[in-house]
Amino acid sequence: MKIGDLSERTGIPTRMLRYYEQQGLLEASRTPNGYRSYDDSDVERATRVRGLIQAGLSTRMARVVLDIERQSELATPPDCSRALAEQLAEELEALEARLSCLTKSRDAVALYLERSRNGDLIPQPAGADAGRRAS
């Protein structure tokens, strides 16, 4: 598929997809006429990249995380230098702090909706009982 098709399927602007490629986060093959060409697996990867960046990771750290995910699928333990491990530990701490903040915000908004008798507007997690929350 061409870059416009990938953009349409992911909701990511073509300019951003080119940037992801420039940063080594996404890889496109080239057709004989020079156009970028993507396959279905690139839809998932581009969406994953966008999610990591929206979560606050730098493009450099997003690339590291994607590499870690790929390596974790292999049977052999990854080779990780002490310097990289320290960077990852710092990133993990920052992610935990963001998750904590987001959780508090989510809970405050949900409680507000419940107290305002509009709890039916709170999205239910997949697989949750539809009638679990009473308004």
HSE-up of residue 6 (Cα within 13 Å, Cβ side): 27
Question: CA 89, CA 91: separation in Å to the nearest integer?
Answer: 5
Domain ranges across the chain: 1-79, 80-121
Check: CB of residue 5 under 8 Å from CB of residue 43. no
pLDDT grade, residue 131 (50/70/90)? very low
Neighbours of 26 (CB within 10 A): 22
Confidence of residue 127 (pLDDT cuts 50, 70, 90): low
Which of 15-24, 67-76, 109-118 has the least mean pLDDT? 67-76
The mean of the pLDDT values for the chain is: 86
SS3 at position 80: coil
Instruction: Please tell me the class of the 1-79 domain.
Output: mainly alpha
At 16-61, the pLDDT tens digits run 999 999 999 999 999 999 899 999 999 999 999 999 999 888 898 8
How far, in Å, CA of 98 to CA of 100, rounded?
5
Q: What is the largest CA-CA distance in the chain?
A: 61
Q: What is the mean pLDDT of residues 7-18?
A: 96
Q: What is the pLDDT of residue 103?
A: 92
pLDDT at residue number 134: 44
Per residue, what are the HEC states of 91-110?
HHHHHHHHHHHHHHHHHHHH
